[in-house]
Amino acid sequence: MTARESFGDLRPPARVLLGPGPSDVDPRVLRAMATPVIGHLDPEFLRVMDETRELLRAAFRTENRLTVAMSGTGSAGMETTLVNFLEPGDKAVVCVNGVFGQRMADIVERTGAEPVVVSAPYGRIIDPADVKKALAQAGGPVKLVALVHLETSTGVWQPVEDIAALAKEHGALFVLDTVTSLGGVPVEVDRWGVDAAYSGTQKCLSAPPGLSPVTVSDRARQVLHARARKVQSWYLDLSMIEQYWGDDRAYHHTAPISMIYALREALRIAHEEGWENRFARHRRVGRALQAGLQAMGLELLAQEGFRAPMLTTVGVPEGVDEAAVRRYLLSRYGIEIAGGLGDFRGRAWRIGTMGHSARPRNVTLVLAALAEALRVQGRRVSAEAALEAAADVLAEVPAGGG
């Protein structure tokens, strides 16, 4: 391109985002992002930060003083909750039943701590008995236990309370990944005894990616302030971040102002809907999608009884080109779904019904489009049966917001 040539206007195509994130963004959130930028230490922006923090506490169901939005995506939150509490030589029990549990184990190792991995096959929950055994056989004190609440690579919805209790029993901090679960199912930080939790903005909260909500208990703060050495990451050091979000307002970095606007508005939308209503909407829409997929003769890969409502993993039928189906949905209908990760790569589709995308019309759309895409590949399935099964679920209670 020559200097005299100009770039065109930015015109992304219309999409229906039904993958594992990002989800569709409410127009109110987009309008909030167009609000004029002011200084990150401006008294008015500090007020916006305070309101965002209060809304985040409600989302996490916590009274934790140290509740912030870290600048960065969900992986920044993951790293924050591990590098701040682990030092070289520490032991950490990490529960791995998918890609994101494995990512936690990788970060633990990078801190110089020793990861003690408790594994389960993709699609299965972590057995608390295995965690108990790992804690007993760790060969020394365990500093931290880390668990993914809802594994984005598999759609498994992990029970939390028993493993949280085991961590407490052994004097270990309990860290919970809520990247996919926050805003879609209850996350009970205080009631479950979670010491540190992190999430992302682009899934069930339906803001653009770019921030990671993090909340930290007073017990974990004490561990942070008792460290023998500095946190290995300057940018993610909570001992400094809390001074910016707290009463001191000490400068640390320039906050992503427009993203804070977006998160505040997304949380305000959730608050207006009511958290219990929001959870019920996700359950209803997710059940409808899963009923439709099964009526189509497709296999759900997450363990029965532990299937996340907002993220469904479905097996690719034998002889079907997994990627070709996704391309068909995208090119013909503008629908984005995702392929599998890790052990599910090439074997699964991941369909998300998250936040603003969790709507009955999207269930109807993706089921009909998927049936058509499969027929193009010679796999005859009944769209009618799928839509009827989904409609039966959606008719159980008022669909609201669809």
Mean pLDDT over 193-198 rounds to 98
Take residue 291 and report the two structure tokens written for it. 């009923």
Q: Are residues 262 and 281 in the same domain?
A: no
Rounded Cα distance, 286 and 366, in Å: 12
Query: CA torsion, points 9, 14, 19, 24, in degrees to nearest 10?
Result: 90
Tell me if 208 is assigned to some domain: yes
pLDDT of residue 46 exceeding 50 = yes
pLDDT in tens, 119-157: 999 999 999 999 999 999 999 999 999 999 999 999 999
- What is the tally of helices (H) and strands (E) in the chain? 14, 14
pLDDT of residue 99 exceeding 50 = yes
Exposed/middle/buried for residue 260 (C-beta within 10 Å: 0-12, 13-18, 19+): buried
Which of 317, 313, 370, 306 has its CA nearest to residue 344? 313
Q: Are residues 198 and 339 in the same domain?
A: no
In this structure, are strands 156-157 and 311-315 parallel, antiparallel, or unpaired?
unpaired
Tell me if 20 is assigned to some domain: no
Q: Are residues 297 and 200 in the same domain?
A: no
- The confidence band for 397, taking pLDDT boundaries of 50, 70 and 90, is low
Contact 36, 357 (CB under 8 A): no
Q: Are residues 323 and 373 in the same domain?
A: yes
**362: part of which helix (H) or strand (E)?**
helix 360-376
Exposed/middle/buried for residue 140 (C-beta within 10 Å: 0-12, 13-18, 19+): exposed
Tell me if 9 is assigned to some domain: no
Percent of the chain with pLDDT over 70: 98
Taking the CA atoms of 9, 13, 14 and 20 in sequence, report the sign of the dihedral they define.
negative
Rounded Cα distance, 315 and 346, in Å: 9
Q: Are residues 228 and 295 in the same domain?
A: no
Q: Are residues 34 and 134 in the same domain?
A: yes
pLDDT at residue 382, rounded to an integer: 94
Tell me if 127 is assigned to some domain: yes
Rounded Cα distance, 360 and 380, in Å: 24
Residue 298 identity (one-letter amino acid): L
The mean predicted confidence, pLDDT, of the chain is: 96
- The confidence band for 78, taking pLDDT boundaries of 50, 70 and 90, is very high
Q: Are residues 62 and 153 in the same domain?
A: yes
Rounded Cα distance, 21 and 74, in Å: 11
Contact 12, 330 (CB under 8 A): no
Take residue 44 and report the two structure tokens written for it. 């008015």
Tell me if 401 is assigned to some domain: no
Which of 400, 372, 354, 393 has its CA nearest to residue 16? 354
Rounded Cα distance, 240 and 125, in Å: 36
Tell which of 214, 238, 271 closes a domain.
Answer: 271
pLDDT of residue 4 exceeding 80 = no
Range of the domain at 79: 27-271
Number of domains in the chain: 2
Cis peptide before 209 (omega within 30 of 0): no
What is the three-class DSSP state of 350?
strand
Q: Are residues 249 and 279 in the same domain?
A: no
Q: Are residues 299 and 368 in the same domain?
A: yes
Taking the CA atoms of 34, 39, 41 and 44 in sequence, report the sign of the dihedral they define.
negative
pLDDT at residue 197, rounded to an integer: 98
- The confidence band for 102, taking pLDDT boundaries of 50, 70 and 90, is very high
Percent of the chain with pLDDT over 90: 95
Take residue 16 and report the two structure tokens written for it. 């229906």
Rounded Cα distance, 289 and 310, in Å: 10
Tell me if 170 is assigned to some domain: yes
Least confident of 1-5, 29-33, 155-159: 1-5
Tell me if 139 is assigned to some domain: yes
pLDDT of residue 402 exceeding 80 = no
pLDDT of residue 168 exceeding 70 = yes
Q: Are residues 289 and 361 in the same domain?
A: yes
- The confidence band for 2, taking pLDDT boundaries of 50, 70 and 90, is low
Q: Are residues 299 and 254 in the same domain?
A: no
Residue 317 identity (one-letter amino acid): P
pLDDT of residue 285 exceeding 60 = yes
Rounded Cα distance, 174 and 92, in Å: 10
Cβ contacts of residue 134 below 8 Å, gap of 6+? 93, 116, 118
pLDDT at residue 7, rounded to an integer: 86
pTM metric for this prediction? 0.96
Tell which of 214, 243, 271 closes a domain.
Answer: 271
Q: Are residues 199 and 289 in the same domain?
A: no
Q: Which residues make beta-bridge pairs with 142?
A: none
- The confidence band for 1, taking pLDDT boundaries of 50, 70 and 90, is low
Tell me if 359 is assigned to some domain: yes
Which of 297, 290, 301 has its CA nearest to residue 379? 297
Cβ contacts of residue 342 below 8 Å, gap of 6+? 98, 99, 102, 122, 153
